[in-house]
Amino acid sequence: MDNRQAIREGKVYLGIEFGSTRIKAVLTGPDQQPIAIGSHTWKDKLVDGMWSYSLEAVRAGMQDAYLDMKRDAQARWGETVRALGGLGVSAMMHGYLPFDGEMNLLTPFRTWRNTITGEAAAELTELLGFNIPQRWSIAHLYQAVLKGEEHLPRVRFLTTLAGYAHWLLSGEKVLGVGDAAGVFPIDSGSLTYDPQMLAKVEARLAPKGYPWRLRDILPAALPAGAKAGTLTAAGAALLDPSGDLQPGAILCPPEGDAGTGMVATDAVAARTGNVSAGTSIFAMVVLEKPLSKLYPEIDIVATPDGRPVAMVHCNTCTSDLNAWVGLLREALETFGAKVSGDELYTRLFQLALQGRKDCGSVTSFNCFSGEPVLGTADGVPMLIRRPEDAFTLPDFMRAQINSALATLAVGMETLTVQEKVAIEKIMGHGGLFKTPEVGQRLLAAAIRTPVTVMETAGEGGAWGIALLAAYAALGGEQETLADWLDRRVFADAAAVTLAPEAEDVAGFDAYLARYRAAIPAEAAACRALRS
């Protein structure tokens, strides 16, 4: 079946992902490869001191990304999308979206970017003997409890951004097990919330007298391959107000961007992993056995089919780099030069490989917010260098990319050095890898591991959730997710692997030593500028 016929017969699969700066829609054909793409740009805002997105922006952005994809499909294939074989929604993980019984949001959406739950995260970690990161939904809920926030008696449902978008389209209050693992710890045997940990938290909450139990307000957790509802008439009208899109498509469980990134890079089997590098950066490594102890810089989450995963998550990756590129573009435009964004990024990234391996003395902190891996509660971007050293554009650009990788390298040392976790392959995806070789080569040096990037690396999690939609719609329970991906999607995938080069490793180590030594300066800058 060709793509025109597939669109005409509704045998296509749609993935929508809410990233930090872009909502993306990817339509796949019978061979599971992207055949149409749409996007919508958006930005978080500070609301009452919290990083947030409005629910109106969620609905409008999802619709705009879908309609952009629909126009692309019409332009490429001469067919109007009227039906879908499967549909899935993914989004940035964690955060806090509490609703009352009428699905009215009780507080502005508190995203993963808010590092305001330190007290709750520490208390829950001690109570459960399990690392609870600040951005997890349970940490946000418990912090609200510690503060005695007035909305708590009215809470009837707590979910993530992906879970909310899924509810808009299907009416179902569910999550994929990977996203659910960022709400509350998952039991890897039953693939549901850990019952003993639930009981401990509920016992701690009982004296508060809230008219709900924690287990009753959490969305149901479902593994990859499960059917998680169908597209309702209201959901179809939300995506496509023209009325062209018909209801009835099967929805897969909604997932977090970490899980869909693993799917999009064929990294869901043990001893594999991936690094997603965009607004934030994180590594996901599928474990063969549990870690020997609790590490505050490592989260234990799950693949979409429930395998335990060690996650090293860093709040900031490319935001400061993007700001510097924007400044350089503004300088060029002052002189009348017109350069496309893609061309400017490509040329500047390529310059980074001409810089000194250790970046000279240039050291950059890209922190837009607090960074738990570094132990900083807040963040401000900062650039430092020795005044007697040469200051060149190649050194500067290499330092910017190294800065985007530095916090990840700190966290990954725990896995590879202290825990001796075996990793056979690390897959890279996200915006940092759009320019061939550069980000890939510097990441390999930073984590001392070969890094593979596929031709589809730029498609990211929107393609990953489209694959999960196809897996559910086509009867995914008949074979494991890893086997299905290997057989149906990645059997002939084109990819490039780069091993770490000794000189790059030595240069990055020298950069990281300066970076670590200057962390107190970053903390002091935060205190000075955020006070």
Structure tokens at 466: 């489209």
Q: What is the DSSP letter of 254?
A: P
Write the DSSP string, 349-369. Answer: HHHHTTS-TT-TT-EEE--SS
Which carries the bigger pLDDT value, residue 180 or residue 20? Answer: 180
Average pLDDT, the chain: 93
Q: Looking at the predicted structure, is the pLDDT value of residue 458 above 70?
A: no
Amino acid at 198: L
pLDDT band at 231, cuts 50/70/90? Answer: very high
Q: Which residue reads 């005044």 in tokens?
A: 387
Segment 393-427, tens digit of pLDDT: 999 999 999 999 999 998 898 898 899 998 888 99
Classify 334 in phi/psi space as left (phi over 0), alpha (psi -120 to 50) or beta: alpha
Amino acid at 294: L
Q: What is the pLDDT of residue 530?
A: 73
Mean per-residue pLDDT, 143-154: 98
What pLDDT score was predicted for residue 160?
A: 98
% of the chain at pLDDT higher than 70: 99
| pLDDT of 475 above 80 | no
Cα gap 276→368, rounded to integer Å: 18
CA dihedral 178, 182, 188, 191 (to 10 degrees): -60
Quote the CA–CA distance of 320 and 404 in Å, as a whole number: 9
Q: Which two tokens stand for residue 169?
A: 């389209």
How far is it, in rounded angstroms, from Cα 504 to Cα 24?
34
- Within 10 angstroms of residue 243's Cβ, the number of other Cβ atoms is 9
- C-beta of residue 200 within 8 angstroms of C-beta of residue 127: yes
CATH assignment, 266-456+501-531: 3.30.420.40
Angle at 101 between CA 100 and CA 105, to 5 degrees: 30
Tell me the average pLDDT across 69-74. Answer: 98
Res. 313 pLDDT band, cuts 50 70 90: confident
28 and 463 Cβ atoms separated by less than 8 Å = yes
Is pLDDT above 90 for 472? yes
Q: Which CATH architecture has domain 3-255?
A: 2-Layer Sandwich (3.30)
User: What is residue 429's predicted lDDT score, i.e. its pLDDT?
Assistant: 83
Judge whether 414 and 519 are in contact, CB under 8 Å.
Answer: no
Percentage above 90 pLDDT, the chain: 78
Tokens of 430: 């996200």
Per-residue model confidence (pLDDT) at position 150: 97
Q: What SS3 state is found at 111?
A: coil
Alpha-carbon distance 1 to 34, whole Å? 15
Q: How confident is the model at residue 176 (pLDDT cuts 50, 70, 90)?
A: very high
**Could you give the C-alpha distances from 265 to 175, 269, 307, 376, in angstroms and in order?**
21, 11, 16, 31
What is the pLDDT at residue 113? 83
Q: How many CB atoms lie within 10 A of CB 185?
A: 25
pLDDT at 49 over 90: no
**CA distance linking residue 183 with residue 301, whole number of Å:** 10
Paired tokens of 204: 């701690």
Who wins on pLDDT, 494 or 81?
Answer: 81
Predicted confidence (pLDDT) at residue 457 exceeds the cutoff of 60? no
Mean pLDDT for 233-237 is: 98
Per-residue pLDDT band at 258 (split at 50, 70, 90): confident
Q: How far is CA 193 from CA 109, 190, 203, 214, 228, in A?
A: 23, 8, 16, 11, 17
Average pLDDT over residues 140-163: 98
Q: Is the pLDDT of residue 114 over 90?
A: no
Q: What is the mean pLDDT of residues 499-509?
A: 97
Of residues 370 and 286, more confidently modeled: 286
> Which residue(s) pair with 453 in the sheet?
496
Q: Give the residues across from 27 on adjacent strands.
A: 14, 36
Cα separation of 206 and 214, whole Å?
10
* DSSP class of 286: E
HSE (side-chain half, CA atoms, 13 Å) at 409: 23
For the ranges 177-181, 243-247, 346-350, 454-458, which has the lowest average pLDDT?
Answer: 454-458
Integer CA distances (angstroms), 365 to 119, 298, 402, in order:
25, 21, 10
Count of beta carbons in the 10 Å neighbourhood of residue 291? 17
Task: Take residue 437 and report the two structure tokens written for it.
Answer: 């070789």
What is the C-alpha to C-alpha distance for residues 204 and 145, in angstroms, rounded to an integer? 11
| Separation CA 328–CA 70 (nearest Å) | 35
The band of 455, judged by pLDDT with boundaries at 50, 70 and 90, is confident
Question: Within the chain, which residue ranges are assigned CATH 3.30.420.40?
Answer: 3-255, 266-456+501-531
pLDDT grade, residue 463 (50/70/90)?
very high
Please give the pLDDT value at position 90.
Answer: 98
Residue 476 in this model has a pLDDT that exceeds 90 = no
CB contact at 8 A, 499 and 304: no
Tally of CA atoms within 13 A in the half-sphere of 392 that contains its CB:
15
Cα(521)–Cα(262) distance, integer angstroms: 35
Number of CB atoms found within 10 A of residue 296's CB: 15
Q: Which of these, 262, 238, 245, lies nearest to 176 by C-alpha position?
A: 262
Mean pLDDT of 43-60: 94
| Contact (Cβ atoms closer than 8 angstroms) between residue 425 and residue 340 | no
What pLDDT score was predicted for residue 459? 63
**Distance from C-alpha of 32 to C-alpha of 35, rounded to nearest angstrom:** 9
* DSSP one-letter string for 165-226: HHHHHH---EEEHHHHTTTSPEETTTTEE-HHHHHHHHHHHGGG--SS-HHHHSPEEE-TT-
What's at 23, amino acid-wise? I
